[in-house]
Chain A
């Protein structure tokens, strides 16, 4: 279990980016974090990844306190961040350098096949499209079999069609080993299609605002009325999260739905 206990972050320049964020996330759960820009989502993820130190609070994974990058926690960023001097295959195998070469090769080949890029094994990262590069990044993060995979707006730089494709793909890959997924997004559709639970955050300072359980069986039909219903609930929560000083949900404009971010 990933336990986040009252995590807070004040940057050296005095920005209070995150305050008292707590959540318990079961192994294998998919949690989406959604919220306006600047409400501390990346800050939170970087603290969990051990890339930045939280000012207050603790991250514990299976009763072990996380303060630095952890073998069981992987992260995928908005950009693929592939190493341009390594081939696609070597990028995927980057985190497996402790393994003997033949096992590494096998795992990399399996991962390549799994993300549908076997024919690109020897290609350079610059020869990939944005969607392909992000698939390589996903494979690279998943191949060491992390228990927790953090994703910081992983698909937001892609076009809508590729994004959908990768969302389905991510679910597919998740089903293989069922790691915990903690996904930051600003796409309501994405949150509802992927997550068991959506955490809505509010800004200044970043805080947890509301939690919405998505009780929908997978695979989810994006066109179903239930799906729409959950989407509406998330949007409403988002709207309220930005309506500072007006905590109740009654008075509300429809334009806000489109403008929340």
Chain B
């Protein structure tokens, strides 16, 4: 929270007025650019409600939202819900990533395994994951296990596909370099295949995490006594739109933060990449 406020406050006057060194401009102006739209909208709405153009009952203004969050935080409720949701996402994400990585790697590396495994996995992928919910509840009960299983299923597929696709598309020419230096199987994996698939793997982790956040809501809708998804349902049943919006805002913050954590954790491993996006794309 403090950080976002800093970044809003810092850049406004001086980056525009003084032609600062471009490094500094890049560090502050980029995030500021991204904040322009949401902050502008929030301010606009706040003013609209403040001036009485709208009563803000169904769409409460940011100040009301903020007050709700503070209130939840003060009672300790907020932490409990966040911890519940985060631990579900982490457990499901962890399981999904491990399974997806293992099966994806096996399918990508061994043609025979791919022929055996891939058709089944693809068929399962065609099932909307939510369709598993009743079965999971029957099998695993209404509590944590079924929720985590659902999230894991959601995370599994993009990771599986990402890993398998990345291995299959490793450049044959680079593999030949490994062969001419007579790398053994494990050395080939460690020195050629792993680094080659890493960029695509990171992307699949991020997609998987996004799906993990999506499915945690679905999981918490199917009956939970705590968690951000519970806050959503509770807010709906008791007619508290501010609580719903507060939960949504926290989802946004948590989702973005966890995604960003993956990004910075893997950035040192991907410095070598020579991609369009690294230069900030077309300006």
Contact = CB atoms under 8 A, between A and B. Distances in A.
Interface stretch (B85-93, B160-168, B178-186): B178-186
A86 B269 CA distance: 11
B181 A83 contact: no
A91 B187 CA distance: 15
Interface string A81-100: 10111100000001101000
A124 B177 CA distance: 17
Contacts of B196: 85
B174 interface: yes
Contact of B272 (A49, A70, A75, A84): A84
- Chain A interface bracket (under 10, 10 to 19, 20 to 34, 35 or more): 20 to 34
Nearest to B187: A97
Given A79-B173, A84-B273, A74 B182 contact: no
Interface string B169-203: 00001101101111000010001100110100000
A85 to B, nearest CB: 4
Given A85-B195, A126-B274, A49 B174 contact: no
B182 A71 contact: yes
B195 to A, nearest CB: 4
Given A77-B173, A79-B173, A85 B180 contact: no
Contacts of A51: 176, 179-180
A70 B272 CA distance: 30
Interface residues of B, number: 18
Contacts of B187: 97
Interface in A103-125: 124-125
B103 to A, nearest CB: 25
B274 A124 contact: yes
A69 interface: yes
B272 A85 contact: yes
B182 A83 contact: no
Nearest to B196: A85
Contacts of A70: 182
A70 B180 CA distance: 7
Contacts of B273: 84
B180 A84 contact: no
B173 A83 contact: no
Interface of A: 49, 51, 68-71, 74-75, 77, 79, 81, 83-86, 94-95, 97, 124-126
20 contacts: A69-B179, A69-B181, A69-B182, A74-B180, A77-B173, A77-B176, A79-B173, A81-B173, A81-B176, A83-B174, A83-B192, A83-B195, A84-B272, A94-B181, A95-B181, A97-B191, A124-B271, A124-B272, A124-B274, A126-B272
Which 5 residue pairs across A and B have the least CB separation, nearest first? A126-B274, A85-B195, A85-B272, A95-B181, A69-B182
